[in-house]
Amino acid sequence: MRVPKKLLAKIAKERIERLFQLAEENARTHPERSKRYVQLARRIAMKYRVRIQKQWKRRFCKKCGTFWVPGENFIVRLKPEPQPHVEYICLECGARYRIPYLREKLAQRDKQNEHDEETASKS
Ligand SMILES: [Zn+2]
């Protein structure tokens, strides 16, 4: 008997949640371990095609997988040009991310970002 997809997704979400919690707990003391948790969580999200919760989405670097600790390994700043946006810079690998500041644009761009992530992860 096959496990219903809904149930699989639910389990996957719980595991992802737990992994991010672990990543957060270990971010300062064991950065390498925390990076591993982020990797695992992303892998599960991809495999079961579940979304990563908003609260975690902006907490790690999509390029190198480092879990971000406020004031330690990433920078957030507001930039007015060319459009108001928030810029995230990962201090581990130097990756930069732009998040539009305007709310309606944020929603649109979020969709685009998710699409980009999916295509990027397949290559
Ligand atoms: Zn990075």
Q: How far is the CA of 6 from the centre of ligand 1 (A)?
A: 32
What is the domain extent for residue 103?
A: 5-122
Q: For tokens 């989405």, name the residue.
A: 57
Residues in Cβ contact with 84 at an 8 Å cutoff, skipping those fewer than 6 apart: 78, 100, 101, 102
Q: What is the mean pLDDT of each run of 10 residues along the chain (123 residues)?
A: 87 97 97 97 96 93 95 92 91 94 61 58 45
- Per the structure, the count of domains in the chain is 1
Q: How far is the CA of 64 from the centre of ligand 1 (A)?
A: 4
> pTM value?
0.76
Q: How far is the CA of 55 from the centre of ligand 1 (A)?
A: 18
**Radius of gyration, alpha carbons of the chain:** 15
Find the CATH number of the domain harbouring 72: 1.20.5.420
